[in-house]
Amino acid sequence: MREIIFDTETTGFDPKAGDRLVEIGCVELIDRRETGVTFHAYFNPERDMPAAAEAVHGLSIQFLSDKPLFATRADELIEFLGDAPLVAHNAVFDFGFVNAELARAGRPGLDMTRMCCTVQMARKLHPGAKHNLDALCVRYGIDRSHRVKHGALLDAELLAHLYIEMTGGRQIGLGLAATSGPAATSLAGEAARPTIQARAFREPRPHAATPAEIARHTLFVAALNQPLWDDSP
């Protein structure tokens, strides 16, 4: 199965208030393994870059000023995404910005039924814990030491590792998964069924303490100084 893990960087939090998408990074998974195929692009937002947003991702308006408009690469992005499920961290945010840009470019938006949100997954798996990308990478032992600032492709790559771990790790597909059909069902049943061998009956062993052991225990207890169970004054 083909899945796309993606992340975005923006000028702010609300596309309805005029915030724009400035970067998108996508990582392709097939059968829950990275293929090495990615899509990455920066976009000219046609507006200023708030200082708070630049502090997060480090993308200045000077850097973005010569980058293409989203509309010029919209079809390329749509083709890359195909009809695959789309996985993102806080996916409603990312879907909202991508769909706002697609609408501005005169293209149909992404179907929200394709959305898989790893924040929602994390809340179910780890209620009460921190669910940001850094905290989850620490929890799952994913190296994020090279993540100095947010970056769409870098964060998508980290999220791909995280998504694989959160959905069972890289071992999930091993075993008899390559075999299909009735034979596979039969083999899987045989593999799961334990082999039971008849054993000779053995009388239970006595477990009572010997008189000598009881005597030694009595002497040991008598030598204790103010044992916890002794509540006498």
Q: Is residue 76 predicted with pLDDT exceeding 80?
A: yes
pLDDT, residue 175, reads 41
Whether 197 is covered by a domain: the verdict is no
> What is the mean predicted confidence (pLDDT) over 55-74?
97
pLDDT, residue 196, reads 47
> What is the mean predicted confidence (pLDDT) over 217-233?
72
Strand pairing class (86-88; 2-10): parallel
Strand pairing class (21-30; 115-117): unpaired
Give the annotated binding-site residues for a divalent metal cation: 7, 9, 155
> What is the mean predicted confidence (pLDDT) over 11-33?
97
Vertex 124: Cα angle to 111 and 113 (nearest 5): 10
Residue 214, judged by CB atoms within 10 A of its CB (0-12, 13-18, 19+), counts as exposed
Q: The tokens of 208 are what? A: 């009572």
- Of the residues 150, 161, 207, 217, only one is catalytic, namely 150
Whether 67 is covered by a domain: the verdict is yes
d(CA 203, CA 128) in angstroms, rounded, equals 51
- Tell me the residue range of the domain where 141 lies: 2-166
* 144: confidence class by pLDDT, cuts 50, 70, 90: confident
d(CA 79, CA 174) in angstroms, rounded, equals 31
Please compute, for residue 43, the number of CA atoms within 13 A of its CA located in the half-sphere on the CB side: 27
d(CA 224, CA 129) in angstroms, rounded, equals 45
* Neighbouring residues of 188: CB distance < 8 A, sequence distance ≥ 6: 176
pLDDT, residue 200, reads 67
Q: For position 157, which CATH number holds?
A: 3.30.420.10
What is the total count of domains within the chain? 1
DSSP 6: E
Whether 220 is covered by a domain: the verdict is no
pLDDT, residue 221, reads 78
Cα of first residue to Cα of last residue in the chain, in angstroms, is: 73
Q: Is residue 125 predicted with pLDDT exceeding 50?
A: yes
Whether 90 is covered by a domain: the verdict is yes
Whether 215 is covered by a domain: the verdict is no
Q: Per-residue pLDDT tens for 155-187?
A: 999 999 999 999 988 654 444 344 444 334 333
d(CA 25, CA 4) in angstroms, rounded, equals 10
Whether 177 is covered by a domain: the verdict is no
Please compute, for residue 32, the number of CA atoms within 13 A of its CA located in the half-sphere on the CB side: 13
Please compute, for residue 112, the number of CA atoms within 13 A of its CA located in the half-sphere on the CB side: 8
Give the annotated binding-site residues: 7, 9, 57, 155
Whether 217 is covered by a domain: the verdict is no
Catalytic status, residue 150: yes
In the block, residue with structure tokens 């071992």 = 171
Whether 212 is covered by a domain: the verdict is no
* Share of residues in the chain with pLDDT > 90 (%): 68
Give the annotated binding-site residues for substrate: 7, 9, 57, 155
Q: Is residue 199 predicted with pLDDT exceeding 50?
A: yes
* Neighbouring residues of 70: CB distance < 8 A, sequence distance ≥ 6: 20, 21, 43, 101, 104, 105
* Neighbouring residues of 213: CB distance < 8 A, sequence distance ≥ 6: none
Q: What are phi and psi of 170, to 5 degrees?
A: -75, -10
